[in-house]
Chains A and B, each alone.
Chain A
């Protein structure tokens, strides 16, 4: 039986996301029936290009979080393990391999399952497990896989010409791959329009996060972990832009009226890491004690996008990508970023999720926690997988959280 574990929301606009998500998945099924090409994608594949080329993008990591939030992950993970994937493998990958190879043994798939893919696209950026996961899918599904390689951006060299050139080549190679798969010619104008919309959205998102510095905090993570969805998966569409305009207006109104997530803030937290999608109510839990999770370490625009760099949209994307990062370039950079946010958002303590099956997030969290404690910023580490709820013990997590809250309240 599916039990809803979604977080209690403070904003009206956020309540629209589930319907947007449902209709997005329904649309992908429709597209597939109409013969549109469907690409199964990893996160960070530029959906604007796919959209401009009339390819339907289905993002598997997002679908994994849908499964997890409906508390179906254990069934899908077990199915993935049954076909040979170790418990140490990324929970998202394990679930999807279970979905592909042992669907009969897995629970009923949300939204009636995924649109059947014609090819696969993976971005090498930020996560290494994806590469293995997507190549495994390519093998078992016997489908073409295109790897979009994103160069690492070392600190202090973020706008290097070499990086921009390399990124441009990679983007052009993605376009060529899509032209081959679809038999359609790429039209720069279409892409330019999508990019304009997507950059507007990104600017609004940035502004929304800036406004969350207000006391009382008008929008907490319980809303934001849901509200990032359109930006991640509907970027470059009108409905996405409309959503964020509405969100921004609602937040401005709340600030003007002095409405916060909790009426009287006693402490403000940051959530660093991937949340536990199967128990998002945990974020609301602190609200009962007068706390608010005011900002996230992940899924956050850290800077404004730079203005248009070039008339050629592909070149423009490449140039901008080297001047704008969604992930910090290194652990050091991510620590600096969190320390800045702690100050700017007046954070009293940081909750760090340690997701054992996400190597990338786990390693940096360890160093981040140490750096915060060294500076006297209280932290709480919670080790539970982002998707596989078999690693979660509610009583143990709550004891740690309760004690952390007691620690924060004892300081005042």
Chain B
């Protein structure tokens, strides 16, 4: 995920800006693993394999449930 994308993103619940946390990045500085944090609802939207998951928390929990 390109770092400048953060400027375009907001929390889908509160529409507040998100805080970027970087765990790993590639040689171009793009984020590979990390999170986008919505502080008001204390939720971390994960970034995995360079792709941020900004599904609202209720949909993320549903996706995590076993089929």
The answer to whether A binds B is no
Which residues on A are within 8 Å of B, measured CB to CB? none
